[in-house]
Structure 1
Amino acid sequence: MREICIAHSPDADDLFMYYAIVFGWVDTPCAFKNIALDIQTLNALALQKFYAVSAISFGVYPLIAQDYALLRTGLSFGKGYGPKLIKKKDKILKKHFKVALSGEHTTNALLFRLKYPQARIIYKNFLDIETAVLSGEVDAGVLIHESILNFDASLSVEAHLWDIWLDLTKKELPLPLGGMAISRSIPLIQAIAIEESLTKAVKIATTQKQILSKMLLDRHLVRVNSKDLETYLNLYANTDSISLNQTQLRGIEKLFELGYEGGFYPHKIDPLDCLIPSEYKQVRYN
């Protein structure tokens, strides 16, 4: 198999889930190289079929389903938490308020647009959203990733996207935020091997959390301190990140359904049909 590029975000959860491979703790079926880019850039590049394996927002997947399969590992879900819509404490948001979002194809943008269809949206790198709110460039902004942990004391939370998710779904399903996708151009048996290696990396990371976290901190690979790193990993890189379960699958299905009914996707897709048929390996070698 040729060298495979694994694209992921530079956020603490993605680094944590992948770096067991960088540190040589996991055997891989071929040479892996990795690149870190912000999630909206990865979403946009996935639309161009740029990387063979890439982290993506679940919100973009129905637009790339013909070219990419979903992997069962490297998952980030919200369970009682998620991105936050913030504003200045004394600000009253009107119907057409101006808001900064982290990217057109992110999951948080999909949910926001379903909840606030009349808001005026601009897109910014997620690291610049808090500043845009503080400066008055926008009335509000949706914070994601590590930004949800700490923000300026003059700001307050207008809405939690977890609550918006519950309001839209009428069910308490995990909120699908980010996952991994693999190009359908990769031969199936090789795709299965790649998924197995990435799954091992996430599993080892979670079982060796303290050691791996210290290595990331010592090498200045993450943007947060040790306390915030532990908090963030407990939220988004945990045992639920190792392998997709049925409850998570229902959450993804509901997200795709909401996007289709809202007119954001041309077709309604079943995520179960988008997974790699891992049983093929057993059939082929038996």
Structure 2
Amino acid sequence: MQLGYSFCPNDTFIFYALAHGKVAAPGPVTEVLEDVETLNVWALEGRLPLTKISYAAYGRLRERYVALRSGGALGRGVGPLLVARGPLDALRGKRIAVPGRHTTAFLLLSLLEEGFTPVEMRYDRIMPAVQAGEVDGGLIIHESRFTYPRYGLVKVLDLGEWWEGETGLPLPLGAILARRDLGEAAIRALDKAVRESLEYAYAHPEETVAYIKQHALELEDEVIWAHIRTYVNDFSLDVGEEGERAVRELFRRAEERGLLPTSRQPLYL
């Protein structure tokens, strides 16, 4: 079975054991590593049976996919950042680089602000583009959160802080989705396998390092482990009741604004 996830340290940390046969799974698992927006687009096509996804994209996929309770990225202090070369007095009319129209980052900025012009590019291209003046600002995710000062950029807005202040809830960023046509038994077995893969990584962190560095765009140990500490947490083991409430609130706000379609399908099994 193909499993899609990003080359970011939080994903390679979580899925190391599953991809290398260290934990039991319903069948052989083959990893497919790609940029998160590529995975979002592939999921809209139904390409992979099991895949990491932005929660914003999941809002459009609830009829075909269901989220696993384990393996996701939710939390506090994890929000996408809007950065620029200097302060921005307003976003209206500004060209803002975004990591994809199906990312949670873009959905959050769209909920907060209107009138900006999104310029799509892969997330690791955003900071150089802002630095070079190709765009007025950039919406950064993943390890960029820790490295943007190296590009002479300043933080204009922390969308996680905005979300937490508005809702009091953790921010849902990404989930692991399984195609509903796999059947309930297989999906529950996959959920268990993902949780056990993360538990294995917690128990053997040193064993994951070579795999993480094989795929990471930033190779410094400090950046890698800061990334993992930020995006891998108790919500990654199980989304929990609070995490579910956060996802429902994100979808409710987006549906009210016409940014996501409605669905009656359950979010989780």
Relative to the length of structure 2, the TM-score reads: 0.93
Supply the AA of the counterpart residue of 2:241: Q
Which of the two has higher C-alpha Rg?
A: 1
Per the alignment, residue 48 of structure 2 pairs with 51
> Do the aligned partners of residues 7 and 74 (structure 1) sit closer, same or farther apart at CA in structure 2, a change above 3 Å counting?
same
1:195 to 188, 191, 196: 191
> Could you say if the C-alpha distance between residues 97 and 137 of structure 1 is closer, same or farther in structure 2, counting changes exceeding 3 Å?
same
Compare 230-239 and 46-55 and name the one that shifted more. 230-239
Matched, 1:215 2:213: no
> Is 1:73 aligned with 2:70?
yes
Query: Map of 1:131-210 to 2, 5 A cutoff?
Result: 131-151=128-148, 152-167=150-165, 170-209=166-205
Q: Give the aligned partner of residue 38 of structure 1.
A: 35
Q: CA deviation at 1:82?
A: 1.6
TM-score (norm 1): 0.88
Report what 2:258 is aligned to: 263
Structure 2: unaligned runs, 5 residues or longer? none
Amino acid of the residue matched to residue 147 of structure 1? S
Question: Conserved in 1, the CA contact under 8 Å of 2:15 and 2:198?
Answer: yes
Aligned position for 2:85 = 88
Query: 1:12 is matched with which residue?
Result: 9
Distance 1:176 1:94, change over 3 A: closer
Name the Cα RMSD after superposition: 1.7
In the alignment, residue 181 of structure 1 is paired with which amino acid? Answer: L
Which residue identity lines up with residue 153 of structure 2 in the other structure? L
Aligned equivalents of 1:15, 1:88: Cα separation in 2: 31
Higher relative contact order (CA 8 A, sep 6+): 2
**What's the counterpart of residue 228 of structure 1?**
223
Residue 67 of structure 1, CA deviation: 0.4
Structure 1: gaps spanning 5 or more residues: 277-286
Tell me the secondary structure at the aligned position of residue 74 of structure 2: strand
**In structure 1, what residue type is equivalent to 2:182?**
I
Give 2:119's aligned residue: 122
Asked if structure 2 preserves the Cα contact closer than 8 Å seen for 1:206 and 1:238, the reply is no
**AA of the residue aligned to 2:209:** K
Q: Is 2:241 the partner of 1:246?
A: yes
Cα deviation 1:210-252 (Å, max 9, x = unaligned): x2343335x5332331111111111002333111111111111
C-alpha distance in 2 between matches for 1:90 and 1:39:
28
Name the CA shift for 1:248/1:88 in 2 (closer, same or farther; >3 Å). Answer: same
Q: Percent identity?
A: 25
Larger mean Cα displacement after TM superposition, 53-62 or 87-96: 87-96
State the Cα deviation string for residues 107-163 of structure 1 (Å, max 9, x = none). 010010111211111111001001111111110001100111012352100000112
CA distance in 2, matches of 1:24, 1:60: 29
User: Number of aligned pairs?
Assistant: 267
Please give the alpha-carbon distance, in whole angstroms, between the structure 1 residues aligned to 2:127 and 2:111: 22
> What is the identity, as a one-letter code, of the residue corresponding to 1:198?
V
Work out whether residues 260 and 268 of structure 1, in 8 Å CA contact, stay in contact via their aligned partners in 2.
no
Deviation at 1:198, TM superposition (A): 1.2
Runs of 4+ in structure 1 deviating by more than 6 angstroms, as ranges, are none
